[in-house]
A and B are shown apart, each in its own frame.
Chain A
């Protein structure tokens, strides 16, 4: 991809947030909170970092992306729409029969989805499989995965992490969207994750904790870790805010899986247009 400025990426993050929220509003169904917390990371991946080709979504040498926390797919669908993987009119079809935009990502229906997800804890294993294949075939593609902090309560995440260490997958880069909230309350209340940074480190990952809403920091840190061909899988634990960019959704468990009504939607779109303070 051509060089993209930090300002461009901030603008893309605004468009992603608005597109995802519009889809959820029109469907009157979906997950706004986690979509908004992941928006800035997605902007960096889809508009700067990932080597993908919208006119050839299954290109063998493409970078892969696995959305292990599949319920926040509206934010990935927004990226696929804005990058031209899927015709724009599909913005109106989220969660409808026959749509490429199923309630959770479906690789058979939506171009640009590298693996179907939706049942938490499973996506990281798939990413590990893709990364092993890339390594054995001596391909240069990388595999990006996004997991939620609540999702890290699933044991399979750690099964996948131990395999990433064993197979020295330095082509695997994991983002943890660490927004601290899950359906029943804070992660701290429901099931403390303890220190995710130290956990991934203990599992052999090169790990850094960053601000997941500071686009400049995301870009800079990615540049640092991806260069290292040190046989270590990489993990960026991202401090994020659930509902980020919409004042009344921020830090709110209530907006995990609830669609905004008209008045809230209009307010949210205006607030997002105003931009973020990282």
Chain B
């Protein structure tokens, strides 16, 4: 079954999907809390702050404390969503998440905006290219990144229902809406956007729409391509990857270091189950610098053109 993707002109950031969905969830469930770290405006939690002050905590600029407070809240049955930038939510409080959230398997969600290269002009210090890789190595942790506004809303709602630690990654920039608002998502189950026989492209987050555009161009040249939106990095949908591997050629696309992100996760499965060629498109193990987002994506080859050219290269070899 493939999903009918929308050709809407609408572009909206996934962080807005979080901001809107968390208010809905909080109104329905008084145990849903948001723990802010002084960047509620950027992380889109001001709506929650205003409508649900009794379920809102702002700890100031103190990430480590936010993780501990959230763990404490979770022991009493609350479902805290820590909201900050991806670089701080993953790295600044990594050990606190490991010790106080993952080790006791507490029901804390780390909901982070500004993932990947999207804090572009802020420079390399603010870009989060290791976050999903670090967090996927913690036992009990689930790692998720929606591809558009609607999938993000659905995945945030799913994360609230799922017991245990979840890392949710959102981004700053508006991305095209590709799903219908009624589309359903399941944690750990990839979305199959195209079914083809020549090769497979597996993407996540903001790169899914780039991959979709690339696949359309390849289709115009009569290539037949499978495309997966791997919104859950962990637990990875191994079955879907094994299916793709049968085609013999996989391209992964991500706005993350190619080390320990989607490309690594897919390669692990492929290596364990028989193997095929994998080409990883993503940040090539280097830090970013201040630049417009599109420029940074171009510098790292995370572009429609590079996906198309990589595919053609594989298909002609």
Contact A128 B60 (CB under 8 A): no
Question: Which one of B69, B74, B99 contacts A119 once the chains associate, using CB atoms below 8 Å?
Answer: B99
- Closest CB in chain A relative to B173 CB, distance in Å: 31
Contact A159 B65 (CB under 8 A): yes
Instruction: Determine whether B231 belongs to the interface, using a CB cutoff of 8 Å to chain A.
Output: no
Instruction: Determine whether A220 belongs to the interface, using a CB cutoff of 8 Å to chain B.
Output: no
Contact A156 B104 (CB under 8 A): no
Instruction: Determine whether B234 belongs to the interface, using a CB cutoff of 8 Å to chain A.
Output: no
Contact A160 B68 (CB under 8 A): yes
Q: Map CB proximity to B onto A241-271 as digits: 1 under 8 Å, 0 otherwise.
A: 0000000000000000000000000000000
**Nearest B residue (CB) for A133:** B76
- Which residues of chain A are within 8 angstroms of B70 by Cβ–Cβ distance? 129
- Which residues of chain A are within 8 angstroms of B104 by Cβ–Cβ distance? 106-108, 115-116
Question: How many of B's residues come within 8 Å of A, CB to CB?
Answer: 28
- Which residues of chain A are within 8 angstroms of B100 by Cβ–Cβ distance? 115-116, 122, 125-126
Contact A122 B69 (CB under 8 A): no
- Which residues of chain A are within 8 angstroms of B78 by Cβ–Cβ distance? 133
Contact flag A159-B103 (CB < 8 Å), given A129-B72, A133-B73: no
Contact A132 B57 (CB under 8 A): yes
Instruction: Determine whether A231 belongs to the interface, using a CB cutoff of 8 Å to chain B.
Output: no
Instruction: Determine whether A163 belongs to the interface, using a CB cutoff of 8 Å to chain B.
Output: yes
Q: Map CB proximity to A onto B91-105 as digits: 1 under 8 Å, 0 otherwise.
A: 000011001100111
- Which residues of chain B are within 8 angstroms of A124 by Cβ–Cβ distance? 68
Complex Cα distance A159/B78, Å? Answer: 21
Contact B65 A136 (CB under 8 A): no
Contact A119 B95 (CB under 8 A): yes
- Closest CB in chain B relative to A123 CB, distance in Å: 7
Instruction: Determine whether B13 belongs to the interface, using a CB cutoff of 8 Å to chain A.
Output: no
Contact flag A128-B72 (CB < 8 Å), given A106-B104, A122-B64, A160-B65: yes
**Nearest A residue (CB) for B62:** A159
Contact A122 B99 (CB under 8 A): yes
- Which residues of chain A are within 8 angstroms of B72 by Cβ–Cβ distance? 66, 115, 125-133
Band of interface residues on A:
35 or more
Complex Cα distance A134/B59, Å? Answer: 17
Instruction: Determine whether B211 belongs to the interface, using a CB cutoff of 8 Å to chain A.
Output: no
- Which residues of chain B are within 8 angstroms of A118 by Cβ–Cβ distance? 99
Q: Map CB proximity to B onto A151-168 as digits: 1 under 8 Å, 0 otherwise.
A: 000011001101100110
Instruction: Determine whether B71 belongs to the interface, using a CB cutoff of 8 Å to chain A.
Output: yes
- Closest CB in chain A relative to B62 CB, distance in Å: 4
Contact A125 B105 (CB under 8 A): no
Complex Cα distance A163/B67, Å? Answer: 13
**Nearest A residue (CB) for B55:** A136
Given contacts A119-B96, A121-B64, A129-B75, 13 further A-B contacts (CB under 8 A): A106-B104, A108-B104, A115-B71, A116-B103, A122-B67, A125-B65, A127-B72, A130-B75, A156-B64, A159-B62, A163-B60, A166-B60, A167-B57
Chain B residues at the A interface, C-beta cutoff of 8 Å = 54-55, 57, 59-60, 62, 64-65, 67-78, 80, 95-96, 99-100, 103-105
8 cross-chain pairs, A with B, having the tightest CB-CB distances, nearest first: A129-B72, A125-B68, A159-B65, A129-B69, A126-B72, A133-B76, A159-B62, A130-B72
